[in-house]
Amino acid sequence: MKNTLPILLLTVTVYLLTSLVVPFTVKNEMILLVDVALWTAVIGAAILISRHQQVRMWSTDKTVIEVAAIITVFQTFMLIFVGFFMGFGKNANVWTPTNLAIYLPYLVVPFLAVELSRSYFTQTIGKIKPTFALLLTGLFFAVILTSIPAYRTLTTPLAVAEFLIKTFIPNLAISILSTYFAFLGGFPANLTYMAIPALFSWFSPILPNPPWATQSMITVIAITIGFLLLEATVKPPLTKSHRTFKKQKSQLPYWTAIALIGLVAVWSSTGLLGFTPTIIASGSMTPTLNPGDIILIISAPVATIKVGDIVQYRTADAPITHRVIDKYEAGGSLWFITQGDANNAPDDPINEEQVMGKAVFTIPKLGWVSIAVKTFFAETITFFTTNLTYAFTTLGIILSASIFSVHRYRNQPLRKLRRRLGR
């Protein structure tokens, strides 16, 4: 344990300095430079000490890396799937070449420092009492993943409850699984598991934006499924003559394809690919468009829109999809008169700036899936946000199942050996 003390003290010191000292003593871009310099010191120390002590944190098996990639893609895809039904938000990071050159080291260096430290701790103290060491390391880095300013806002019991469900419990679940990958496959496996969500959150132009209660629940559930998948795929050795991992056909291409499909679905839902799928929720366009149908809206120059086209336009409440029955010019711009096929009266005139695009394709009834899922999530969110006791209980059960998977997995060799000896 004392071998880990220098890295432990350095990591804690840098974490406290970058959270409590640097923001108040350094100004402007110098904050970024000082933070990068401090975390670079952690990276250098972790590399030098691990090599000096011959800590096996760099060697790994490609199967562990592949499983890490599958699980992290699955977690990201689950959030994307929920966001597809519950909405997305614009990413606060807007990257220009200048911004990227300035801020990328500020994102990457602390990330690498934390994960290198995690791998070092896990590979050193994890050999003594694996279950206890993994949980303790996971808890330690869950604290580091949560910024100190978040702790300073916990002034009421309600704020504490929201913080635990929204931030700390998901971070703890992520940290435990990441620590487990560091134990099984060293830094490469741990980096694979943590890097994909990080890159997605840094560089995707849009991000899933479900309510925090839903996001927390989905994260912990996905991690529990990840533990089960890990247990079913990666087997610890019984003897030196046995292979460490069960050979299976690679599933990574399939999960990568699923992630790409999900990404296309996400980007298309916000119009980034030039078209936007829209679910018809009312009967104002029957029989042409029925509730539950999905229509594809493409951006089109307003001058090309003619009478008879079905267009989508903005209103103060929600977008409306109706048919153009007339158009005219006034005040130097185009105006359109629209009306639902099932309505008895036309809508108010709309300006060309309100037009979002026109419908080009219809998928009948598929939207009912989205409507049903959206209703389910809305009711679930309402239940858990109004009954925090149930929310804590559910998350506690899920997290306990994850922790039990760690303990059960680590003791598989002993159980199998005992069965072989007939004990």
Tokens of 64: 């562990």
Task: Report CA torsion sign: 157, 160, 165, 169.
Answer: negative
Query: Residue 235 is which amino acid?
Result: K
* Distance between CA atoms of residues 327 and 336, nearest Å: 4
**What one-character-per-residue DSSP string does 33-71 give?**
HHHHHHHHHHHHHHHHHHHHTT---S---HHHHHHHHHH
Lowest mean pLDDT among 23-32, 128-137, 205-214, 388-397: 388-397
* Distance between CA atoms of residues 294 and 281, nearest Å: 9
Lowest mean pLDDT among 113-122, 176-185, 230-239, 277-286: 230-239
Mean pLDDT of the chain: 76
* Distance between CA atoms of residues 70 and 54, nearest Å: 30
Q: Cβ–Cβ contacts within 10 Å for residue 305, how many?
A: 19
Mean pLDDT of 145-154: 68
Percentage with pLDDT > 90 across the chain = 12
What is the SS3 assignment for 209? Answer: coil
* Distance between CA atoms of residues 130 and 410, nearest Å: 7
**Domain residue ranges in the chain:** 2-272+387-420, 280-368
* Distance between CA atoms of residues 290 and 371, nearest Å: 13
Contact (Cβ atoms closer than 8 angstroms) between residue 315 and residue 278: no
Q: Cβ–Cβ contacts within 10 Å for residue 392, how many?
A: 15
Query: Residue 255 is which amino acid?
Result: W
Residues 255, 113, 194, CA angle at the centre, nearest 5°? Answer: 15
* Distance between CA atoms of residues 381 and 386, nearest Å: 8
CATH of domain 280-368: 2.10.109.10
* Distance between CA atoms of residues 361 and 131, nearest Å: 55
pLDDT of residue 275: 65
Query: What is the tens place of the pLDDT at every residue in 363-409?
Result: 887 656 655 666 665 566 566 555 656 655 665 665 566 555 555 55
Burial class (CB in 10 A: 0-12, 13-18, 19+), 210: buried
Q: E strands within 110-244? A: 206-208
CA-wise closest residue to 110 among 36, 191, 55: 36
* Distance between CA atoms of residues 317 and 334, nearest Å: 22
| pTM score above 0.75 | no
Mean pLDDT of 113-141: 80
pLDDT of residue 363: 80
Long-range contacts of 399-402 (CB under 8 A, 24+ apart): 399/169, 399/172, 399/173, 399/220, 399/224, 401/224, 401/227, 402/173, 402/176, 402/177, 402/220, 402/223, 402/224, 402/227
Q: How confident is the model at residue 22 (pLDDT cuts 50, 70, 90)?
A: confident
Lowest mean pLDDT among 229-233, 259-263, 348-352, 385-389: 259-263
Residues 6+ apart with CB under 8 A from 122: 57, 133, 134, 137, 179, 182, 183, 190
Mean pLDDT of 55-79: 82
CA-wise closest residue to 288 among 317, 321, 313, 315: 321
Query: Residue 66 is which amino acid?
Result: E
User: Has residue 79 got a pLDDT over 50?
Assistant: yes
Task: Report CA torsion sign: 79, 85, 90, 95.
Answer: positive
Query: What is the tens place of the pLDDT at every residue in 315-333?
Result: 887 789 999 999 998 888 8
Separation in Å, CA 303 to CA 206, 232, 299, 329, 353: 30, 59, 12, 11, 12
Contact (Cβ atoms closer than 8 angstroms) between residue 187 and residue 115: yes
Tokens of 355: 């037009």
DSSP for residue 285: T
Q: How confident is the model at residue 195 (pLDDT cuts 50, 70, 90)?
A: very high
What is the SS3 assignment for 312? Answer: strand
pLDDT of residue 350: 92
Query: What is the tens place of the pLDDT at every residue in 349-364?
Result: 999 889 988 888 888 8
Mean pLDDT of 173-188: 87
User: Has residue 272 got a pLDDT over 80?
Assistant: no
